[in-house]
Amino acid sequence: MLQNLVDIFVAPKAVFARLLHKPTVLLPLLLVVLSVASIQVGYITTTDKGFLVDQFIEQALARRPDADEAQLRGVYENLSPTTLIASAAISSAIFITVILLVNALYLSFISKFGHESHRYKHWLSLVCWTGLPVVLTALAAWVTMLTGNGQVSLTALQPLSMDSLLGLNSGKQILQNLSLPQFWAMGLLVLGYRHFTGASLAKSAVVTLAPYVIIYGVWAYFAFR
């Protein structure tokens, strides 16, 4: 199983072959969940309290421009670090876990039309292992946080995003969430689906990327209209 941690980045086909024989879920699921949660927890613990409150208020006002800034400031300033950390860790862990479970359910459902015999655990295993590039996102975020002297903006927290890499500074969350590791994970999922089903590369791409196209398409519509 530990060999998969290396091979998923350098020899993914070997990992896919092993998962067909023995699907494993716990290790990659924990790594993905902990990586995502660690970003939020790390940001709270390494950021200056006053600067952190300003970032939260800015984010809240972006979602609700009519909100009372003074009231928001009072709420955030009175929250204890322990409460913030626990809330961030739990919400992040639940969110990413639900995403993985639903994605695996989708692939399991779609595969039935091809008369595939793989169980749900096979698809969940594939989704979890191909999601491991998120670890790179977490590592990049931690480097940014640890070198930011306690004043790293939320937008700068994703140095591998398209917004950061292309120097766009667009302020659009959709571009801040699209990153090289995410594209890497998508590519791995396409290859994994192809290996599991024997489908063509084009069909594998259509099946696995359709949810992303729909979600980001709708997001882009509202972001850029």
Domain boundaries, the chain: 2-224
Angle between helices 2-10 and 120-130 (to 10 degrees): 60
Rounded to two decimals, the pTM is 0.89
Give the pLDDT confidence of 12-54 residue by residue, as tens digits: 999 999 999 999 999 999 999 999 999 989 998 998 888 888 8
DSSP E strands in the chain: the ranges are: none
Q: What is the pLDDT of residue 210?
A: 94
* Structure token pair of residue 176: 């801040």
Q: What is the mean pLDDT of the chain?
A: 89
The two structure tokens encoding residue 65: 């421009």
DSSP state of 79: S
Share of the chain above pLDDT 90, in %: 53
> For position 117, what pLDDT does the model report?
74
Q: What share of the chain is helix, strand, coil (3-state, %, to 5)?
A: 80, 0, 20
Q: In this predicted model, what pLDDT tens digit does every residue of 153-199 receive, in sequence order?
A: 887 888 998 888 887 777 677 887 889 999 999 999 999 999 999 99
- Compute the C-alpha angle 218/206/171, nearest 5°: 30
Spatial CA neighbour of 210 closest among 110, 99, 98 = 110
| Spatial contact of 2 and 24, defined as CB atoms under 8 Å apart | no
- Quickly count: other Cβ atoms within 10 Å of residue 122's Cβ: 22
Angle at 147 between CA 141 and CA 152, to 5 degrees: 65
- Model confidence over 94-125: pLDDT tens digits? 999 999 999 999 999 998 887 567 899 999 99
Closest CA to 122 of 16, 34, 20: 20
